Amino acid sequence: MNEKLLIWWNYAEKDSKEARRIEELKHSFQDKKIKQLVKQAKYLYKTDLPELQMTGTYSFSVVHDVPTDQEDEVQPTYNDSCIIYDGKCKDYKEFLVALNTTLSLIPSSADKCVFIIKIAAELKYVNREVGARFIDDIAREVYIQTKKAK
């Protein structure tokens, strides 16, 4: 497998406040342990944040068959975006930091659930073990909750 996961935030308009906010969020999750990050993600996906001032949207992509010598060159084609995660999901904690950062930026809990379910479906292409762990830790619960809500 030579796939990598990219998660980025697309700005509605280029604003250094949004980029700074994203970096602050990432930093705030860095010192947490994996169990704390899982618990935080479970809290965040259920929480609507209508007061958020963020005007952008998230995007993510699994890039398949990245030539080893070009791994660092694969970037989103958007000029007005901020990379939240770029990697092969070898470090589960690093992935969870990016997940919590992204969930903190998305105002609607329904959109957060969609994001989690879509990421879970794609993680198996990047790292099967991390994908299975993510499903066990978070995504299965999200899926069950969304089915109950319908």
Domain ranges of the chain: 4-149
**C-alpha distance from residue 56 to each of 23, 59, 65, 96, 120 (Å):** 15, 10, 29, 21, 22
pLDDT digits (tens, 9 = 90+) for 3-20: 899 999 887 666 667 788
Query: Model's pTM, two decimal places?
Result: 0.87
When the pLDDT of each residue in the chain is averaged and rounded to a whole number, the result is 86
pLDDT digits (tens, 9 = 90+) for 54-103: 667 778 888 876 555 554 554 544 557 889 999 999 999 999 999 999 99
> What pLDDT is attached to residue 139?
96
| Residue 39 pLDDT grade (very low, low, confident, very high; cuts 50, 70, 90) | very high
**Using CA atoms, how far apart are residues 2 and 63, in angstroms rounded to an integer?**
9
pLDDT digits (tens, 9 = 90+) for 97-115: 999 999 999 999 999 999 9
Q: What is residue 22's three-state secondary structure? A: helix
Both structure tokens of 52: 């958020």
